Amino acid sequence: MSGYLNIGYRNSQRLETGLRVDPKLLLSSQVLQLTQPELEQMIQTELNENPALERVAPEEDPLTDRMIEKSVAGRDLKPRGDDRELWRSLPTDDDTPTWIDLAASDTTLGEHISGQLLANLPGTLRHVGEYVIGCLNANGYLYEPVEEIALGSNCSIEEAEYVIVQLKKCEPAGVGANGIQESLILQLRHIDSLEGKIARRIVRDHLDLFTAGKQLKLAKKFSVTTDVIQQVFELILACNPFPGEGFSTSSSTSESRLPAIQPDIVLARSEFGWEVSVKGPTSIEFSLNGYYKKRLDELQEDRRKDKDERRHLSHFVERASNFIECLEQRHRTMLRIGQYLIQRQSGFVTTGDATFLLPLTRTQLAHDLSLHESTISRATQGKFVQLANGETVSFDVFFKPALRVQKMIEEILATENPDNPLSDERIAQILADKGVHVARRTVNKYRDRTKLLSSRKRRSA
């Protein structure tokens, strides 16, 4: 009988030993699951309790390529230098408005372009036009490579190139360019005079001389008088390097749908490619206390003395190191998820159009990233993503097909004629045209779930 008891005891002891979980693993899971405010609160608690953990004084934010482009372009497109005659010759009429003086209109750039581009495209390419319009940034530039446009909109490269050519014919002039230089050339392309031809050559090949105000050097290079170069300068200065800035950044309907929250991941696109930014505290903001680390190294050399102090120092130093490492692991995991969404859901991430959402589950995401499903669940639960078009959405949008359909129904109803509301059957037909096949009763269910009125009640409302 005692033998059976001993066996049970040994099995129980083995089981208890096997169920022990590494405290560092628990901490890592907890840090990953926290939202930004919760993580900041946890950090403050850790700083108060652990003298071996220090927060590094924040440095000034480094300049990004986008910040440099925004701040320098307006200034560098104006002549400068010591050529006083050139400055004196420039127009000084304060009553003449420039692109800088123009206030933003209520119409968004996308709405303005849609009315021009989509009407000139065959029906089979309208979805490509909508995709391309969604790729435009606030400045009116198109940084998306033609290959990715073709892939994201499910068309051939030749069809994508055709749509881009048509886009560059739209107003405002310069829209659809891949940067300031091409935008200026597009705005100058219809000027057939001598000055116009020289202006295009200068922007294409000698923009550095223009921004430096080298009037005499340019006059010699093109074998013309300085008066001609002055007129060329006036033509270039009359251009708008940011053709999209005269428009509202978002419509009132889209603004009402934007959540008043801070994103956990920001997915942005510039002429230099995709950028994934993980918001919130990171490991580089923290370090080990210098005294604790130095004193522990000293005591490690002679482990026979000051055992209590060494135990105290070792405990807090290890705790601080683990905490910093968990912050770094959280950042890496969120970064990988952001990069995956760009690859897997590039169409939706670029445009914010739910039509381009592809089916995706947390299980599939975990498998593709070689992570446990619980890790993906902790990293995405209650968190938000800012898309390339500036819209912030919940992570749930990527994993719940119902949310995709609900969002598409909301967008359809937002643009319907109030005097002739769409029926559920008509909404189902519109969804089918966009490649989403749902029954009329499914539309009714989703509409009820989002508390949207029926067509009869919407008409009476």
Q: State the pTM of this model.
A: 0.56
- Positive or negative, the CA dihedral 43, 48, 52, 56 is positive
**Amino acid making up residue 163:** V
Q: Which phi-psi region, left, alpha or beta, contains residue 451 (left: φ > 0; alpha: ψ -120 to 50)?
A: left
pLDDT (tens digit per residue) in 21-72: 577 888 888 899 888 888 998 999 999 998 989 988 765 555 454 554 444 4
Q: Which phi-psi region, left, alpha or beta, contains residue 140 (left: φ > 0; alpha: ψ -120 to 50)?
A: left
CATH 1.10.10.60 in the chain is located at 401-460
- pLDDT average, residue stretch 154-170: 90
In this prediction, residue 328 has a pLDDT band, given cuts at 50, 70 and 90, of very high
Rounded distance between C-alpha atoms, residue 80 and residue 71, angstroms: 16
Rounded distance between C-alpha atoms, residue 347 and residue 44, angstroms: 39
390: closest CA among 271, 249, 273? Answer: 249
Any idea what DSSP says for residue 119?
A: G
Contact 280, 33 (CB under 8 A): no
pLDDT (tens digit per residue) in 234-258: 888 888 878 887 676 554 333 434 4
Q: At what angle do helices 401-414 and 424-433 cross, to 10 degrees?
A: 110
Rounded distance between C-alpha atoms, residue 180 and residue 142, angstroms: 11
Give the model's pLDDT for residue 58: 61
149: closest CA among 138, 141, 159? Answer: 159
pLDDT (tens digit per residue) in 114-146: 878 888 888 888 888 888 888 888 788 888 888
Rounded distance between C-alpha atoms, residue 275 and residue 267, angstroms: 6
Q: At what angle do helices 373-380 and 23-33 cross, to 10 degrees?
A: 40
Q: Which two tokens stand for residue 238?
A: 């009359």
Q: Which phi-psi region, left, alpha or beta, contains residue 176 (left: φ > 0; alpha: ψ -120 to 50)?
A: left
Q: Which CATH number fits domain 401-460: 1.10.10.60, 3.90.1150.10, 3.30.930.10, 1.10.10.10?
A: 1.10.10.60
Q: How far is CA 239 from CA 174, 185, 187, 196, 367, in A?
A: 9, 9, 7, 12, 50
